[in-house]
Amino acid sequence: MALKKPPNDPGGTPAWTPDLVRSVTRDFLAGHDPTTMDPTDFLLARYDAGLAWVHFPPGWGGLGASRSLQSVVDAELEAAGAATGAPGVAVIGLGMAAPVLVAWGSAEQKRRFLRPLFARQEIWCQLFSEPGAGSDLAALSTRAVTDPGTGDWIVDGQKVWTSHAHEARWGLLLARTDPELPKHQGLTYFVVDMTSPGVEVRPLRQATGEAEFNEVFLTGVRVPDAHRVGGVGDGWKVAGATLMNERVAIGAEALPREGGMIGALTGIWRERPELRTPGLHQALLRHWVDAEALRLTVLRLRRDLAAGRPGPEGSAAKIVFARLNQELSGLALELLGEEGLRYDDWTFRRPDPDEDPLLRSFGYLYLRCKGNSIEGGTTEVLRDVVAERVLGLPRDTRTDKDRPWKELPR
């Protein structure tokens, strides 16, 4: 389907309006019924129509419109019966890989990856953290060395806490390409084929009994230079954009009032009056106010993102999200007493990414929420981000900033 072009404003910039975007969406739906089409075919057609991410450039799944107009598209699609649930196993591709590829990727990379990514035909994972480089990501030691005969890169190293690596076709990899430079400068960003020889994925079992994460071993993995994202040595800049998108994806989900964990807890409170005590009532009210304050803050954050003003505020939202979830799951166990301590789910399995965790026991939620303050950036590191970039406080003293990475103690 040919993309409809908006009229130009006096300055010559395309002037997409809500009414025009709504018209484009309805024209698309007139020829593509989401209730009868194959879901993958529908997503592919939606990408081709520029209705995947309206703020992306034309030809790459977008219209070149304001990000705020995505809500217009989503409302029309939902009214027509299109699936609008959580991205599930595709969350890293949709929330992190896509915006990074649009901002930093080559035209060929956009052409190869974005369309099947949006249609969930190819799953993505993120190869960042290492056993010796988690909170201090720039200290990573996975090496990528150029093969002078082919121009390919040969990668050796180990990554850890990698969600969906056992299902992923592609991985976003941060590797060290120059140990002579300071640690933030000698990094380069790649897209790795997870089916390549030398890639080994092993499950990591969590306190819940599940293996939601993995460790990934890379041994002589060959990556073509065409899969390098950004320039050699630009890896830290590209990774920074990825991490900002990740923190928003984790801590800035748009929820209705009493959505998420607070809704599950208030449901028990209303249905089980025999469990109530005055002290628990006060605690629940305090957490309800905190949850509502976070929800409203997230709405403002998402408006800033829609206006093209992403910033470190996503780190603050993620900090509060982690703390609140942990406190709410603990309050639920206190409310349920012995019943809350029962946990029958401790079996080794790969979790279903489309399963709603709120439908599981609070024993499971209590254990799983402990990871909220680690995944997507530890709370300690994110507090530094907020202190320096939001509050303007002095940066921590760094003695390793200008020293070559190879000279740093490990």
Q: Mind telling me the catalytic residues?
A: 246
Q: How far is CA 360 from CA 52, 208, 337, 344, 373, in A?
A: 32, 12, 17, 10, 20
Judged by DSSP in three states, 196 sits in: coil
The tokens for 244 are 């900002």
Which residues are within 8 A (CB) of 26 and not within 5 positions of it... i.e. 6 or more apart?
76
CB atoms within 10 A of CB 336: 17
d(CA 266, CA 255): 15
CA 84 to chain centre: 17
The tokens for 213 are 């994460």
DSSP H helix total and E strand total for the chain: 13, 8
Half-sphere exposure of residue 31: CA atoms within 13 angstroms, side-chain side:
9
Judged by DSSP in three states, 2 sits in: coil
d(CA 65, CA 8): 12
d(CA 311, CA 101): 19
Q: State the DSSP code for 188.
A: E
Please list the residues that pair with 176 across neighbouring strands: 143, 187
| C-beta of residue 130 within 8 angstroms of C-beta of residue 160 | yes
Q: Which segments of 105-166 does DSSP mark as H helices, in order?
A: 107-118
Which residues are within 8 A (CB) of 350 and not within 5 positions of it... i.e. 6 or more apart?
166, 203, 210, 211, 212
